[in-house]
């Protein structure tokens, strides 16, 4: 089945220790997104790729970076995680910007 896969599902990291979250898709979609979602809140868009074109949201902290080495994979790098970065991180894909999005199951990040 075509899908969006996120690994790991749960990640624990130490304060200040870099961490990378991964996302892969078998849908061959052009657009890949990273969202941050804190408890009982709406998903907050961090950035997205349209093909290789990277688009950063204005309020995304510099601490967050992303890489998309090919169509199928996208990575979220948090350079120096703080306690406030503990959240669920959701990857999503869509065929085009503004069309329906397909979400992965998310990675729950804990910062100790």
Residue 7 vs residues 16, 46, 62, 72, 108: alpha-carbon distances, Å: 20, 18, 23, 14, 10
Part of the chain binding other proteins (CB under 8 A), chosen from 11-19, 62-70, 74-82, 104-112: 104-112
Supply the minimum distance, in Å, between the C-beta of residue 90 and other proteins.
6
Would you count residue 45 as binding other proteins (CB under 8 A)? yes
Q: Where are the alpha helices (DSSP H) in the chain?
A: none
Residues 49 and 20: their CA atoms lie apart, in Å, by: 17
Supply the minimum distance, in Å, between the C-beta of residue 88 and other proteins.
8
Residue with tokens 């804990």: 110
Give contact residues for other proteins (rule: CB under 8 A). 4, 6, 33, 40-43, 45, 48, 50, 55, 88, 90, 92, 97-106, 108
């Amino acid at each position: 089945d075509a899908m969006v896969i996120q690994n790991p599902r749960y990640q624990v990291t130490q304060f200040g220790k870099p961490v990378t979250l991964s996302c892969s898709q078998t849908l061959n979609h052009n657009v890949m997104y990273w969202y941050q979602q804190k408890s009982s809140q709406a998903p907050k868009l961090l950035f997205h790729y349209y093909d290789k074109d990277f688009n950063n949201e204005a309020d995304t902290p510099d601490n967050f970076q992303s890489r998309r080495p090919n169509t199928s994979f996208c990575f979220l790098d948090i350079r120096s995680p703080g306690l406030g970065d503990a959240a669920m991180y959701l990857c999503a894909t869509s065929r085009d910007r503004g069309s329906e999005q397909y979400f992965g199951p998310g990675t729950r990040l804990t910062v100790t």
